[in-house]
Amino acid sequence: MKVFVTGVAGQLGHDVVNELTKRGHEAIGSDIAPTLESCASYVTLDITDAAAVEQTIMQVQPDAIVHCAAWTAVDAAEDEENQAKVRAINVDGTKHITDAAKKADAKMIYISTDYVFDGQGETPWEPDCKAYAPLNVYGQSKLGGELAVAQTLEKYFIVRIAWVFGLNGKNFIKTMLQVAKNHPQVRVVNDQIGKNHPDRDDKDCAYQQRDQLRCDGFPFLFHRSTSRLRMMLYDETANSATMTASRT
């Protein structure tokens, strides 16, 4: 199976394309960088350029597309000078990918986020819940990407993930470890509850969805989290950051 993966210079895309290759599939990675040594089969692509996206995907002719490319810096997305770029990448860029996927008759996996909801619930969100209420620019832009996929394609999966960490790229755990090295006291928000999620699980999930892409069960929305690892990020009584984990 030939799979086109966007955002392979990032944390998840890097592992998805390498996992597909390791398992014997023809995986072609793309990102905005001119070259990427870690990806054996790579093409440079700016997903905000509609003509370039269409040309590249029509040349590759993939059976499926895993769209990992995104603006993921949540706080920076709130800066006024960044907001147009955030939407150009997460909304317009995704629309360009979906348009090209439709033209190439390629199935698609779109990686989204829990930020499409407002986080106020006390029970897990169901995948088919339509009570979207993003509270920030990042969440609004990823919801815009979801809608672009759902309104354009018939053969797609939307996979919502959260609190992802891995060896490649930036993530919250790496940031906290670095801050702890450089500061005697670490201040961290204590009003968020979640499970830090290894991207190796997501690359396996993407691979499993790749298998389901052979079937006709479209469309499909999927919430992905881990039940194996819980992280305590803040100990208010000790007023210090902790990086302890408990298996569940």
Known catalytic residues? 138
> At a CB cut-off of 8 Å and minimum separation 6, what does 223 contact?
114, 124, 125, 126, 127, 159, 160
Amino acid at 36: L
Q: Which of 205, 167, 213, 156 is nearest to 19 (CA)?
A: 205
The runs of H, that is alpha helices, within the chain are 11-22, 50-60, 80-87, 94-104, 137-152, 172-182, 199-212
Start-to-end CA span in the chain (Å): 35
d(CA 37, CA 120): 42
The CA-atom distances, in angstroms, between 39 and each of 15, 28, 114 are: 10, 8, 28
